Amino acid sequence: MKLSNFFYATLREIPSDAQLPSHIFLMRGGYIKPLSTGIYSILPLGLRVIRKIENIIREEMNVIGGMEVDLPVVQTAELWSEAGRYQAIGDELLRFKDRNSHNMVLAMTHEEAITDMARYVLSSYKQLPFMLYQFKTKYRDEARARGGLIRVREFEMKDAYSFHSTSEDLDKHYELEYKAYQKIFNRVGIEPVIVQSDTGIMGGKIAHEFMLDTPSGEDYLIICKHCGYQANREIAEFKRQPVDGNLSLEKVATPSKQTIDEVCTFLKANKKNAGKCVFFDVDGKLIVALVQGYLEVSETKLRNFLKVKTLIPASEELIKASGMIPGYASPINAKNCRIILDTGAAESKDLIVGANEEGYHFIHCIPKRDFASFETVDIAEAAADCLCPKCEKELTETRGIELGNIFKLGTKFSENMNCSFTDAAGEVKPAIMGCYGIGVGRLMASVVENSHDDFGPIWPLSIAPFQVLIVQIAKDDAILQVSEQLEKEMEAQGIEVLVDDRDERPGVKFKDGDLWGIPIRISIGKKGLAENKVEWKLRSKKDMEMVPIAEVVEKVKGLLG
């Protein structure tokens, strides 16, 4: 393919709204073009990469028995109501009416549609298990699209769904998906960090996320470098450090001291000895969440426990109506509220808590003695320096980009939508489901985040838009002849070649070549041809070498394997 016949554009300047390397280089290299906030057009160069990623995913899905299908992106509200998600999901689900005034949605996931397809076919246990997958456009009306393809509103996703007669069979297939995902990400040059995660709107009991460990990630991961424990910070477990004691409750003056830092500094106390109250309004009911002062409340854990979609900070009026004073509040003598303590706080026997009186706190609080009633739940967010739940050594925290996820959905959708089968004993049972997703565009961007330098992406050979870039240093008949010869020979061997035949300065061509990230660059100039040689350079290396023309094709083939 000659560049003069190719549809492309490169940018010399960094786009003003681009901050992440992937956003910068995919824009500058002519892979993507923004159409609106969080919505991108994919140019030919980008589509070549995406198609290769799709093929890798497709191969690994087929190996474990997947069958490809295609489901509509426009779906009826009735279908989503069957599963209970039409009402449960907020503004991120785009709702609209068609010309006949029917309520419709643009699908953000396809659990409803795949369950509808499965129940159309499924009747007997003899048909199970099976796994269906697709590559499909999704639309999620994100409130904060960012980072180019990292967080968008419209995106392509590979989503797979498996159906089983028993939980044991789901467990077996889940392990196959787990290993297939490892292979997929390894084939595109990424060694993923695999963490336990929140099931969120998907439901189900067990979920794992495959993450790229990178400073530009928006997710926080909790990792134990000693025993290998890994989880998303939202749901990570950790060993609590309750404080011991057996003293009587005592009220002390803490003038103008309201925050945990202020109170602990004033009383010369460790934050572990403080009880931190966070207040939420759930349907007009005050929820009091209390953790030790060195921790934060995990809204994800609390939402999951309360089985609510959102948590709204409580107003001062609602807090005061319970008998508590903001800044000096505690559950002592509180009324008309639901009190939830994290496990570490519940087991502590020497906490500092508010006295519900301005300018005063209690010390030596023992919740089991001093609180009238409360619920004990894991509602604290893990952080660096917390103790590992397995080996009890210090945890570390890092950031990551989610590459893909897998869920054990169970029967959430099949029960609601009557996707059932008759077992060997003649009993009708709901199918047990699993769900497995990979964002294709996000994976392309993540590869760039993982592999780039100051000049552009460094694509692995497996997904590079072209494998070889031939650069003509000048418009010379001898150069053109050798370029034509090498192009034909390599294309005859199935090697993908892009020839930069522009009438441009070498510096411009080399800079664009770096932006394209093509793994092998072959530069043909008069000086080299005088010795029947061309310049050979790998995008991933700084050094270059002169290679005899007669050896070039075999050298490329050797590198491609």
- Reported as a single tens digit per residue, the pLDDT across 354-380 is 999 999 999 999 999 999 999 999 999
Yes or no: say if 283 and 334 are a contact pair by the CB < 8 Å rule: no
Q: At what angle do helices 440-450 and 21-28 cross, to 10 degrees?
A: 100
What confidence category does residue 204 fall into, taking pLDDT thresholds of 50, 70 and 90?
low
**Nearest partner of 493 among 436, 535, 552, judged by Cα:** 552
User: What tens digit of pLDDT does each residue of 214-258 get?
Assistant: 998 989 999 999 999 999 998 899 999 999 999 999 999 999 999
Strands 250-253 and 351-354: unpaired
What confidence category does residue 309 fall into, taking pLDDT thresholds of 50, 70 and 90?
confident
The fold of 250-380 is YbaK protein (3.90.960)
Yes or no: say if 46 and 32 are a contact pair by the CB < 8 Å rule: yes
User: What tens digit of pLDDT does each residue of 374-427 get?
Assistant: 999 999 999 998 999 999 999 999 999 999 999 999 999 999 999 999 999 999
Span 325-354, average pLDDT? 96
Dihedrals phi, psi of 500, to nearest 5 degrees: -85, 95
- The correct CATH number of 468-560 out of 3.40.50.970, 3.90.1150.10, 3.40.50.300, 3.40.50.800 is 3.40.50.800
- Which range among 191-205, 281-295, 423-437 shows the weakest confidence by mean pLDDT? 191-205
What's the N-to-C CA distance of the chain in angstroms? 22
Q: Is the pLDDT of residue 203 over 60?
A: no
Instruction: Report CA dihedral (437, 231, 215, 293) to the nearest 10 degrees.
Output: 140
What percent of the chain lies above the pLDDT cut of 70? 99
User: What tens digit of pLDDT does each residue of 426-463 get?
Assistant: 999 999 999 999 999 999 999 999 999 999 999 999 99
Residue 193 pLDDT: 94
The fold of 15-72+107-215+398-449 is BirA Bifunctional Protein; domain 2 (3.30.930)
Give Cα 523 to chain centroid, integer Å: 39
Residue 206 pLDDT: 83
Residue 293 pLDDT: 96
- Give pTM, 2 decimals: 0.89
Strands 337-341 and 468-472: unpaired
Q: Among the residues of 129-286, which ranges form H helices?
A: 167-187, 260-267
Residue 324 pLDDT: 96
Residue 218 pLDDT: 86
- Beta partners for residue 452, in sequence order: 457
367's CB contacts (< 8 A; 6+ apart) are 275, 290, 331, 341, 345, 346, 348, 351, 374
Q: Is the pLDDT of residue 323 over 90?
A: yes
Mean pLDDT of the chain: 95
Domain spans, the chain: 15-72+107-215+398-449, 250-380, 468-560
Yes or no: say if 52 and 435 are a contact pair by the CB < 8 Å rule: no
- Asked if the peptide bond before residue 129 counts as cis, ω within 30 degrees of 0, the response is yes
Span 42-71, average pLDDT? 98
- Asked if the peptide bond before residue 460 counts as cis, ω within 30 degrees of 0, the response is no
Give Cα 106 to chain centroid, integer Å: 21
Residue 201 pLDDT: 47
Residue 123 pLDDT: 98
What confidence category does residue 199 fall into, taking pLDDT thresholds of 50, 70 and 90?
low
